[in-house]
Amino acid sequence: MTRQRQSLGDLSFTATIYGLALAGLALLLLPSLVVIIVSFTSGFSLKFPPPGYSWRWYVALLDAWQLHFAAANSFKVACWTTLLSVVLGVSASLAIARSTHWTARLLDSLFMSPLVLPALAFGIAALMFFSLIGLSISILTLIIGHTVVCVPYVIRTTVASLAQLNPALLESSASLGASRFYTFRRVTLPLIRPGIMAGAFIAFMSSFDNVPVSLFLRDARTDMLPIRMWQDLENRLDVTIAAVSGVMIAFTIAALIVMERISGLSRRLR
């Protein structure tokens, strides 16, 4: 009887966990599925279910030059942000990963602080700071602002990779007369490359889709795709935005699959 109760208890616990997991997946995926379905509508309004299905709004994207301009800015900022985040994140990770000194913990807390501070508050603070030092709003200010909020992702994944690195490999390289730079280039870097790539991927996607920071650090010359989409939805509910969302969802899924094959992203985030 006791074993039967235990088996029933285990079964109910498993069923509850799987039920909650499925409910969470549905809550996350169903809105995206609705957007994809609506993007194929043949009508002129955002309506679900759509009255018919057509590729017309995806074709209309070819002539949406404002969206092209905003997408180009977002891609440019995301690329530069990713490059700077990798350089700063890897450098910071090497300094704090194996150090037990209090300064390492202080640096770690400093780099992680953008994840704790509300993004809108950081956007306002960044705008006030740039105004105070006389730096006008431009692509440069966007890159700086995005880099600050994206560096923590690179640090977390790189530190996780460094934690799995066997110190004996570095000691063996040093004992054979290799310099620190040579050891980093031929031993450390190849072993932590998957973690760096995982952090770079997260930084790129976070920058490309960033709204709070871009909202305060952009102007008409540096319009960003997420802001342009938000404004179009707020002003005229353009169905083209649903098509843009469909393209972004497809791009994200494709990039995620590629990164999973290359670096094992899910394993690095455990």
Residues 179-205: tens digit of each pLDDT: 777 777 777 777 888 888 888 888 898
Beta-carbon contacts of 125 under 8 Å, excluding residues fewer than 6 positions away, are: none
Percent pLDDT > 70 in the chain is 90
Is 116 part of any domain?
Answer: yes
Q: Looking at residues 125-151, what average pLDDT do you find?
A: 86
Give the tens place of pLDDT for each residue, 214-242: 888 877 778 888 888 877 777 777 778 88
Separation of alpha carbons 209 and 227, rounded Å: 9
Q: Which residue has the higher pLDDT, 69 or 180?
A: 69
CA distances from 57 to 46, 54, 68, 74, 241 (A): 12, 8, 15, 21, 9
Percent pLDDT > 90 in the chain is 4
Is 21 part of any domain?
Answer: no
Q: Report the chain's mean pLDDT, rounded to a whole number.
A: 79
Is 140 part of any domain?
Answer: yes
Average the pLDDT over each of 46-60, 64-78, 151-165, 203-217 and give the range with the smallest value.
46-60
What is the per-residue pLDDT for 83? 93
State yes or no: pLDDT of 269 exceeds 60: no
Q: Which residue has the higher pLDDT, 146 or 39?
A: 146
Number of neighbouring beta carbons within 10 Å of residue 31: 10
Is 23 part of any domain?
Answer: no
Q: Looking at residues 131-160, what average pLDDT do you find?
A: 86
What is the per-residue pLDDT for 73? 87
Is 19 part of any domain?
Answer: no
Average the pLDDT over each of 7-11, 19-23, 48-52, 246-250 and give the range with the smallest value.
7-11
Query: Which residue's structure tokens are 């530190």?
Result: 159
Q: Which two tokens stand for residue 77?
A: 């900022």
State yes or no: pLDDT of 81 exceeds 90: yes
Is 102 part of any domain?
Answer: yes
Confidence band (pLDDT; 50, 70, 90) for 9? low
Counting the structural domains of the chain, the total is 1
24, HSE (Cβ side, Cα atoms, 13 Å): 6
Range of the domain at 73: 56-268
Is 46 part of any domain?
Answer: no
Q: Which residue has the higher pLDDT, 6 or 92?
A: 92
State yes or no: pLDDT of 124 exceeds 70: yes
State yes or no: pLDDT of 6 exceeds 60: no
Domain at 250, CATH number:
1.10.3720.10
What is the per-residue pLDDT for 80? 93
Give the tens place of pLDDT for each residue, 30-62: 888 888 888 787 777 777 777 778 788 888 777
CB 197 within 8 A of CB 154: no
Is 25 part of any domain?
Answer: no
Angle at 201 between CA 195 and CA 205, to 5 degrees: 150
